[in-house]
Structure 1
Amino acid sequence: LLRLAYFPYLIAPVVFGSMLQFYFVRLGLTGSVAGVWLAQVLFVFPYGLLFLSTFWNDRLKQTAFQATTLGASNWQLYRSVLIPMARPWLFICFVQCFLISWFEYGITQLIGVGKVPTLTIRTMQYVREADPHQAALASCLMVLPVLLLLVVNQRLFLKRVDPS
């Protein structure tokens, strides 16, 4: 069943978007923010699933088994064992899924039919219009959240080593 998660990445995003478009037209979701959001979720969810499937390994299962053997309730197991172990993985998964969605152009263009103005769509419009100043500004704005997430990652998860 996990192999089905590879399907959106075996084909081009535009082809995947074209396959989704039939259903989105029937549901009335084309050209709407909700439709673009749902298409993005359908595109990045398998990536998150594949990424986090490596987290749920035998070592984690054994750790959870040990905690329950030592008397931890389900609440204590999640609060004190699983969530602290999963926190860095969840953050990295969120960042990776955000980046894939943030820079995705094909699905957004197909499902949004040009009516949903995302920053990626605007940047490509500026490039097509040969407006280098607006394209450069939009590109810098696209990189800004990535840099902020890197700073947050560094502050939260990298341990500082004292040289003395």
Structure 2
Amino acid sequence: MKFSIVALAGLASAVSAGSLPARFSLIADDNTPVLTDGQYVYIGNDTSKSTSKLILSGGGNGGLTYLAKGAVPTAWQNLYIIENSVSPISFTQPHSGAVPDNANTTGFGVNEQGYLTQGGRAWFAVDGYGDVPAKEVYWYGAHNSEYKAANLKVQECTTKEC
């Protein structure tokens, strides 16, 4: 039986994406939970914003969804990154799958170190090095020295509330 490089790459991607738990949260390098305001993702808590712990569900194609606490079941949101850019990782609007140009909603997985990846790359970052209480998480798909790497550790949910 022969396998092409493309077929093997696809199989490896599916295995990586499939290794994500069905439901999980993310933990930052300093062991703080990763939070969301329903549109963007943050490390740290800014009390001027209404945020909650980010709990994601994995899909078969490496897609990730978020459902806000108390929302109707059909109000899930898809996580996406904008490829080849440095831009905030974001969620679609509830009840909508619409994404901007060059957005990617699939290919999320976890590497051997337990960090969230997209396309096999753990290219997540935060803006700057200051002391703001909450740092927005970005996809680091292009070079910019203003950003600092941020590893997002996958933590499986073992309870309903995670």
Instruction: Identify the TM-score tier after normalising by the shorter chain.
Output: under 0.3
Where is the helix percentage greater, Structure 1 or Structure 2? 1
TM-score (ref. length: structure 1): 0.25
Where is the strand percentage greater, Structure 1 or Structure 2? 2
TM-score (ref. length: structure 2): 0.25
Query: Which of structures 1 and 2 has the larger relative contact order (alpha carbons within 8 angstroms, sep 6+)?
Result: 1
Higher Cα radius of gyration: 1
